[in-house]
Structure 1
Amino acid sequence: MLKSSHISSPVREKLFNGMTIIVEQVPVEVVSLHLWVNIGSAVEYDDINGISHFLEHMVFKGTERLESGEFERRIEERGAVTNAATSQDYSHYHITTAPRDFADLAPLLFDIVLNASILDNAFEQERLVILEEILRSEDNTRYCTFKRLIEVAFNRSPYKRPILGTKEIISQLKPQQMRDFYKNWYQPISMTAVAVGNLPVGGLIEILAQECVHKLTENGSCRLPKVEQELPFTEIVRNEFIDERLQKARLVILWRVPGIYQLDKTYALDILAGVLGRGRTSRLVMELREERGIANNIYVRNMTNRYQGVFYISTQCEIENIPLVESAIINNIRRLHTGMVQKSEIERISIRVANQFIFGTEKPSDRANLYGYYQSLIGDLEPAFNYPLNICRQTSMDLMQAAQMYLSPDAYGVVVVRPSGN
């Protein structure tokens, strides 16, 4: 049986300004610092959609202490690396350095995240970069299919908005709108700082606390909006599109499922995703690709957002095979409703899913990422320790009940993207 002790216990403290810091010493000669801001595109209004991602870019454009480009130059000249990301639920900045450089470089990351200047001229220059990124995304067939999936999954939820925003909205954003958004949301009380690497815990806490205390939580709402879960599908909802760049059709079948706020309901769905589509011996891969040869690139995912998730099955196939593939997928879903998954199959998938989780915590950056994710989204680190254990506790009855509750064979969303001329 896998045990939660594979991950040790980090030290967590909350500072007087509301920021949470998490530190852990591990015997690997790097230190990874991650700053998580508890906001993403889900907190945006429709008329500023994309501002979170745009702001992620602007954070790197300088502060009173650092000119534009100086942060990257000083990071790179020490051989350190940096990156950032924005999702629906969070924004995330990180650096990985040698231990000897951490005390010098960590303050730079805090500075750009906490004290971004957001100057008008830099804003206008970066707007062009964002518009180009949106244009490139529209040329990416995988991105376009996923965007359509999300639009079918969410009708009213803020999760329906594209993280990048749209050309129309980004073109009209004003620098002051971003400064207001930044002031409201980029507050210490909305942030988590995580440092993992080969420095003593006390030293890591001292460095992080010293940088954090220079920024006090100001008058901003910092209160996440209430997001009501959308109801399950009550019928089969079909959406078809044409994409002339494709040679084979894309078929996606999807259901609305619980998010991370109902974490205990997600474990069985994670295993069901493995039963259906993880590895050559999974059910859909065996039937659709190996035995019948009617589909390939079969991918099954239980996507867990903060408020609500999406369970989806994605395949590629010839146009004429779409009805066959959909029927086969739904027949497999029906079997999950009526037949117990064999214990041996559950054990194989559980070990695979749990091990993937464990393998993803071997590097300091992985662990820092894991701690920051759970602290930001649910304010609790226990799921980070106990995920493998919770996965391995799932029974055949748990899987059947999850399938019956969330994966209806009679009500689901369908996205079909066809090549032109078919």
Structure 2
Amino acid sequence: MPHALPLVAASAIGAHLTVEQDQGAVIQRSVLPGGVRVLTEHIPGMRSATLGAWIGVGSRDETPEHAGSTHFLEHLLFKGTARRSALDIAEAFDRVGGESNALTGKEYTCYYARTIDTDLPLAIDVILDMVTSARLDEADFDMERGVILEELAMAEDDPGDVAHERFTEAVLAGHPLGRPIGGTPDIIRSVSRDAVEEHYRQHYGPQTLIVTAAGNVHHETVCAMVADALTAGGWDLTGETAPVARRDALAPVDAGLTPQVRITRDLEQAHVMLGTRGFRATDERRSTLSVFNAILGGGMSSRLFQEIREKRGLTYAVYSFGAPNAETGIWGMYAACNPRVADEVEGLLAVELERMAQGVTAEELEKAKGQIAGTTVLRLEDSYSRMSRLGKSELVFGELWSIAEALDQVRSVTADAVVGLAAELASRDRSSVRVGPAVA
């Protein structure tokens, strides 16, 4: 049986690990001089390749003077380098039918590209040129400020997005994890180019960089191309510096919890959220949480869907979710409904959570496990998902389970474990968030 890749066991320069995975896939990990980590997964029979350049810095890491810089950099790195204009970067991937993009999280930033396997050298060259040699021109900065403000305005026009943002702020009140990833309009208007450049120079370097590639890729070749691209970008890879350590999963969480938030909007629906503090990403109960969410609000046969939508017709969208971070997380339930029944819907959300603490059936348990197994396997059928799994495992977990091991973890979850987790969540203080019209 394939085994987990113990990423935490190798952090020294030159360290190398190789582990066979499911269906003949092979994952390898090396630490290059300077502390750059490279992880690859060779997947037999796949003709695509996805490359990711991960920086273990997210919105939570911003100092007050650098607020908004992480998301700003996600935009600015596509605006050009010493060797390429913004158009050059865009055309590089358009010419080969590839795609490139980036994402900013609360704890990391990732720049990635997906191409056919023969164009992986192009992807490595362009993406790492962006990471090492971003121009950060004043004119580009001023123009992109307007683009980001439009992006924030678009999110503000989506009441579901607003509800989720306010819910996160409420559950992690006063904590950096509670801040919006993209910043606020006031922050984006006030942050200076010098502050964003300082954030870039401070956090983008060999020690913080993780390069992951999945698909028809060959580890030694990828390592050599990565080293060449980083050296061409001016990074010093001659040192014996180890990679930065992973975040402390046991760090204390200094955050409050706001019991109630009401945002008045002239809308047809009320967007209702109810939830509490969740669990850290490395919590040993993460497989139990997956099963719990599948039973409670993970599909059309879940308790929330059946009780609130199918039996009562009170909502179209209803679900539960968990969002983990290094030392804590959030957990919640969401429903959109007629404002006149918002109180009733919120009450039903609470009732179904409390009912979970009273027991689950064997049929529910097996159905949830089957659902998770299917979605897990299907989600990993493309090179992007495999690339992303490598990056998140390196950043967060310190090990990478094979798919078979991950499914075994889910299959081992018991009804008692699900009920115990439900009881713990049900006993915690909750936040209630609504976005919608005021009802007399």
TM-score (norm 1): 0.91
Cα pair 2:271 2:335 within 8 Å, conserved: yes
Which residue is 2:383 aligned to?
364
CA distance in 2, matches of 1:14, 1:305: 25
Deviations 1:41-96 (A, max 9, x none): 01012343221011111111222122232111122112221111101111111111
Cα pair 1:3 1:388 within 8 Å, conserved: no
Which residue is 1:281 aligned to?
301
Counterpart amino acid of 2:252?
Answer: E
CA distance in 1, matches of 2:41, 2:279: 31
Q: CA deviation at 1:283?
A: 0.9
**Given the alignment, which residue of 355, 361, 375 partners 1:335?**
355
- Cα gap change, 1:127/1:308 in structure 2, threshold over 3 Å: closer, same or farther? same
- Cα gap change, 1:84/1:259 in structure 2, threshold over 3 Å: closer, same or farther? same
**Given the alignment, which residue of 38, 41, 45 partners 1:21?**
38
Which residue is 1:242 aligned to?
264
Cα pair 1:33 1:106 within 8 Å, conserved: yes
Cα pair 2:247 2:396 within 8 Å, conserved: no
Which residue is 1:347 aligned to?
366
3-state DSSP class of the match of 2:388? helix
Listed as ranges, the gaps of 5+ residues in structure 2 are: 5-20
Q: CA deviation at 1:131?
A: 1.5
**Given the alignment, which residue of 21, 39, 42 partners 2:60?**
42
Q: CA deviation at 1:337?
A: 2.0
Which residue is 1:175 aligned to?
193
Deviations 1:215-259 (A, max 9, x none): 23799x9678876325786xx912222111x21212111110112
CA distance in 2, matches of 1:252, 1:325: 10
Task: Report % sequence identity.
Answer: 23
Cα pair 2:273 2:332 within 8 Å, conserved: yes
- Cα gap change, 1:2/1:316 in structure 2, threshold over 3 Å: closer, same or farther? farther
Q: Runs in 1 of length 4+ with deviation above 4 angstroms?
A: 1-5, 221-227, 230-233
Cα pair 1:184 1:222 within 8 Å, conserved: no
CA distance in 1, matches of 2:156, 2:210: 33
Q: CA deviation at 1:289?
A: 1.2
Q: CA deviation at 1:195?
A: 1.3
Which residue is 2:419 aligned to?
400
Tell me how large the CA RMSD over aligned residues is. 2.7
Q: CA deviation at 1:328?
A: 2.2
3-state DSSP class of the match of 2:277? strand
User: What are the equivalent positions in structure 2 for 1:180-195 lying under 5 Å apart?
Assistant: 180-195=198-213
User: What are the equivalent positions in structure 2 for 1:62-211 lying under 5 Å apart?
Assistant: 62-211=80-229
Q: CA deviation at 1:335?
A: 2.1
Matched, 1:326 2:326: no
Cα pair 1:49 1:161 within 8 Å, conserved: no
Q: Which moved more, 1:81-90 or 1:285-294?
A: 285-294
3-state DSSP class of the match of 1:89? coil
Q: CA deviation at 1:334?
A: 2.0
- Cα gap change, 1:355/1:212 in structure 2, threshold over 3 Å: closer, same or farther? farther
Q: CA deviation at 1:393?
A: 1.2
Counterpart amino acid of 1:16?
Answer: P
- Cα gap change, 1:3/1:328 in structure 2, threshold over 3 Å: closer, same or farther? farther
CA distance in 1, matches of 2:75, 2:383: 25
* Corresponding residue pairs, total: 416
Q: CA deviation at 1:270?
A: 1.7
Cα pair 1:60 1:69 within 8 Å, conserved: no
3-state DSSP class of the match of 2:194? helix
CA distance in 2, matches of 1:119, 1:384: 44
Deviations 1:168-214 (A, max 9, x none): 11112111111110111111211111111224333333323332455
Listed as ranges, the gaps of 5+ residues in structure 1 are: none
Counterpart amino acid of 1:229?
Answer: V
Which residue is 1:228 aligned to?
252
User: What are the equivalent positions in structure 2 for 1:411-422 lying under 5 Å apart?
Assistant: 411-420=429-438, 422=440
CA distance in 2, matches of 1:347, 1:319: 36
Which residue is 2:277 aligned to?
256
TM-score (norm 2): 0.87
